[in-house]
């Protein structure tokens, strides 16, 4: 049959298992939007292109499915860059389609022209500029495959307006479910690595698992849980790996690194064998690399060869899908009987628990504990970036994989609200809570309009301290309390803002109103924003100062720090 370029791409998106698009139309993408309407392709109209990208991001994080993001040329495409960079850093699949000025106009500085191809090279896994209508089928297929296989990531297709309407013959593609990647076989070298790991495990008295987001992407959560429980090895989850191992299990040690638990960092410092399963030894995890796991043999399992040996010298590198590796380990490794090690960890856990001091004002950690109490770890939790994000990572006990939506690598403030909306669209049966800071929330709050327009019932808890809290904390600790431009004394009234968008707003100023307000929000059938006026001076503890070793962690506020 004969179709135009837009129709072909839409057919290929459907065939590739893409079920929804987020975006905003504009001049250079209008023919494509016209076909989108005619084909009844599900689409969410957002208020900003960055929001569209974060929605597709949140959607993918909780469902392991890929969504499309559609923008026009020029500013539409450049607005997308933050969203792409965020997805790229956290290995989130996404397919961005950007309109481009007509082919003969490219390079003439035409209206709304930007070098989208050039701009997006460093923030995508791969990208294309379509030059021929006959390439669209092949490119779209390849784009979905590249985005969803191996180490996932965002891809971008720049689509000139004239090619969107150009016609050519088209043969239907077979439907491929992008959500069901088959695990490739492990290379021979990796099998040797696994043998080495198994003999190292037999000699180890203090083994430790560091499980990253690779566990979630490989759908290896069950295999990990089985392996840890059968062998009795304690598990640390990286920030993005949270949910990959049950938060309530006795073997769970929480998050490591800069704002990790004391016992996770003690265990890293003391272990004799570290098994990193699908994490990338981020600098926030390792601290100063020369002081990281000084006594341990290090094994690293990753699907991306570049990660092996990138930041930390690895004794046993294993390249491959972490689920396949765990399947073999589950066959060959029995109980290790490291009672002394487990006892030591148990003592650390009871001696150095996560804690905070309650007071008459609302403590941000208190709000998160109450959200945890209300939802029992069964909801989906999204965050912005900053103090509230670290407290959420510390105090929420995740029961399931893919229930944590947070910007790790790029640390994108403003990620929370659109990502939570995307997550709710992907998993409508789940309650979705966004725990946000006032700084982060204000960056993308315009997407409240999207939540209102489509009736997407996300629940937003703003921990409002009137500061860029993490910046304020660093200024207090490392810049002699010179609070350079981190204060928002004239924050807008977030309750009224919510109501202005047609969203239910609640204002909370006292601790005894925290739980009732959460229950009220939970009972309302629609989006809700709760503005919690929290303690302005609260800091995140423990903390490893930037550039220091994890063992130099400061456990809590020292007396000299307080005013």
Partner 1 sequence: MRQVFSILVNNHPGVLSHVAGLFTRRSYNIETIVATPTEDKTITRIVIVSQGEEVKLNQIAKQLRKLYDVSFVETVPYETEGTKELLISILNTSIFDSKNRE
Taking alpha carbons only, the member of 406, 464, 411 closest to residue 433 is 406
Q: Which residue has the tokens 């403003």?
A: 414
- Positive/negative CA dihedral, 465, 467, 473, 475: negative
- Rounded to an integer, what distance in angstroms lies between the CA atom of residue 422 and that of residue 407? 14
Is residue 75 within 8 Å of 98, Cβ to Cβ? no
Identify which of residues 42 and 305 has a Cβ nearer to partner 1 in the complex: 305
HSE (side-chain half, CA atoms, 13 Å) at 556? 7
> Which residues are within 8 A (CB) of 482 and not within 5 positions of it... i.e. 6 or more apart?
475
Tokens for 128?
A: 């294309």
Residues 258, 261: Cα–Cα separation, whole Å: 9
Catalytic annotation, pick one of 89, 470, 543, 553: 470
- 1 assigned to active site: no
Of 544, 507, 267, the residue nearest 390 (C-alpha): 544
Q: How far apart are CA 94 and CA 148, in angstroms?
A: 8
Q: Annotated catalytic, 112?
A: yes
Is there a contact between 381 and 405 (Cβ–Cβ < 8 Å)? yes
At closest approach, how far in Å is the CB of 272 from partner 1? 24
Q: How far are the Cα atoms of 55, 235, 458 from residue 447, in angstroms, in the given order?
A: 10, 37, 11
Plot region of 17 (φ>0 → left; ψ -120 to 50 → alpha; else → beta): left
Nearer to partner 1, 121 or 546 (CB): 121
User: CB 407 → partner 1: shortest distance, Å?
Assistant: 19
C-beta of residue 254 within 8 angstroms of C-beta of residue 263: yes
The binding site for partner 1 (CB under 8 A) comprises: 117-118, 121-122, 125-127, 129, 146, 304-306, 309-310
Nearest to 140 by CA among 268, 61, 266, 32: 32
In whole angstroms, the minimum distance from the beta carbon of 158 to partner 1 comes to 10
Residue in 11, 19, 49, 223 annotated catalytic: 49
Rounded CA gap, 239 and 394, in Å?
A: 9
Would you call 111 a catalytic residue per the annotation? yes
- Distance from chain centroid for Cα 374: 23
Q: Which of 471, 529, 546 is nearest to 495 (CA)?
A: 529
CA–CA dist 328, 352 (Å, integer)? 35
Asked if residue 211 lies in contact with residue 279, where contact means CB atoms within 8 angstroms, the answer is yes
The active-site residue out of 14, 30, 105, 112 is: 112
State the DSSP code for 312.
S
Q: Is the dihedral of CA 146, 148, 153, 155 positive or negative?
A: positive
Query: In whole angstroms, how close is the CB of 304 to partner 1 at the nearest point?
Result: 7
Helix (H, G, I), strand (E, B) or coil at 509: coil
Q: How far apart are CA 548 and CA 455, in angstroms?
A: 46
Residues 76, 156: contact at Cβ < 8 Å?
Answer: no
Select which of 11, 41, 65, 161 is catalytic.
161
Beta bridge partners of 174: none
Which residue has tokens 């392709």? 41
* Number of residues written out for the chain: 563
Q: How many helices (H) and strands (E) does the chain have?
A: 23, 19
Contact between 47 and 76 under an 8 Å Cβ cutoff? The reply is no
Q: How far is the CB of 122 from partner 1 (least distance, A)?
A: 5
Question: Is 49 a known active-site residue?
Answer: yes
Which H or E run contains 474? helix 469-478
The helix/strand/coil state of 39 is coil
Rounded Cα distance between 54 and 412, Å, is: 10
Q: Is 297 a catalytic residue?
A: no
- Give catalytic residue positions: 49, 111-112, 161, 470
């Amino acid at each position: 049959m004969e179709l135009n370029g837009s129709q072909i791409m839409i057919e290929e998106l459907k065939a590739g298992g893409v079920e929804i698009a987020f975006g905003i139309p504009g001049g250079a993408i209008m023919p494509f939007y016209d076909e989108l309407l005619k084909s009844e392709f599900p689409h969410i109209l957002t208020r900003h292109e960055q929001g569209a990208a974060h929605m597709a991001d949140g959607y993918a994080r909780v469902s392991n499915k890929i969504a499309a993001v559609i923008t026009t040329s020029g500013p539409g495409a450049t607005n997308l860059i933050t969203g792409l960079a965020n997805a790229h850093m956290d290995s989130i699949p996404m397919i961005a389609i950007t309109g481009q000025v007509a082919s003969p106009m490219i390079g003439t500085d035409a209206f709304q022209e930007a070098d989208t191809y050039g701009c997006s090279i460093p923030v995508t896994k791969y990208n294309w500029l379509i030059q021929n209508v006959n390439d669209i089928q092949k490119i779209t297929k390849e784009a979905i495959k590249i985005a969803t296989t191996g180490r996932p990531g965002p891809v971008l297709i720049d689509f000139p307006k004239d090619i969107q309407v150009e016609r050519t013959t088209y043969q239907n593609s077979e439907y491929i479910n992008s959500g069901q990647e088959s695990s490739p076989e492990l290379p021979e070298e990796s099998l040797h690595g696994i043998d080495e790991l198994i003999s190292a495990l037999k000699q180890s008295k203090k083994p430790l698992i560091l499980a990253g987001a690779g566990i979630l992407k490989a759908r290896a959560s069950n295999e990990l849980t089985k392996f840890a429980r059968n062998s009795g090895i304690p598990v640390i989850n990286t920030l993005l790996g949270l949910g990959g191992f049950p938060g309530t299990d006795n073997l769970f040690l929480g998050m490591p690194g800069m704002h990790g638990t004391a016992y996770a960092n003690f265990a890293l410092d003391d272990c004799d064998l570290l098994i990193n399963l699908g994490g990338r030894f981020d600098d926030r995890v390792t601290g100063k690399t020369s002081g990281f796991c000084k006594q341990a043999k290090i094994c690293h399992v990753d699907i991306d060869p570049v990660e092996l040996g990138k930041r930390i010298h690895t004794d046993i590198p294993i390249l491959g899908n972490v689920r396949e590796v765990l399947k073999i380990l589950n066959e060959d490794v029995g109980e290790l009987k490291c009672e002394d090690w487990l006892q030591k960890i148990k003592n650390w856990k009871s001696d150095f628990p996560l804690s905070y001091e309650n007071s008459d004002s609302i403590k941000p950690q208190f709000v998160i504990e109450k959200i945890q109490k209300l939802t029992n770890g069964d909801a989906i939790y999204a965050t912005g970036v900053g103090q509230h994000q670290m407290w959420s990572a510390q105090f929420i006990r995740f029961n399931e994989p893919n229930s944590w939506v947070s910007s790790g690598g790029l640390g994108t403030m403003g990620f929370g609200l659109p990502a939570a909306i995307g997550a709710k669209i992907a998993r409508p049966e789940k309650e979705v809570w966004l725990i946000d800071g006032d700084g982060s929330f204000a960056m993308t709050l315009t997407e409240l309009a999207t939540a209102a327009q489509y009736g997407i019932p996300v629940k937003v808890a703003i921990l409002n301290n009137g500061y860029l809290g993490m910046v304020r904390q660093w200024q207090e600790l490392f810049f002699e309390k010179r609070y350079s431009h981190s204060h928002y004394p004239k924050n807008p009234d977030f309750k009224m803002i919510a109501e202005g968008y047609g969203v239910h707003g609640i204002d909370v100023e006292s601790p005894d109103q925290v739980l009732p307000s959460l229950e009220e929000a939970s009972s309302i059938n629609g989006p809700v924003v709760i503005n919690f006026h929290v303690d302005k001076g609260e800091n995140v503890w423990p903390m490893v100062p930037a550039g220091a070793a994890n063992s130099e962690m400061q456990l809590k506020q020292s007396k000299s720090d307080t005013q």
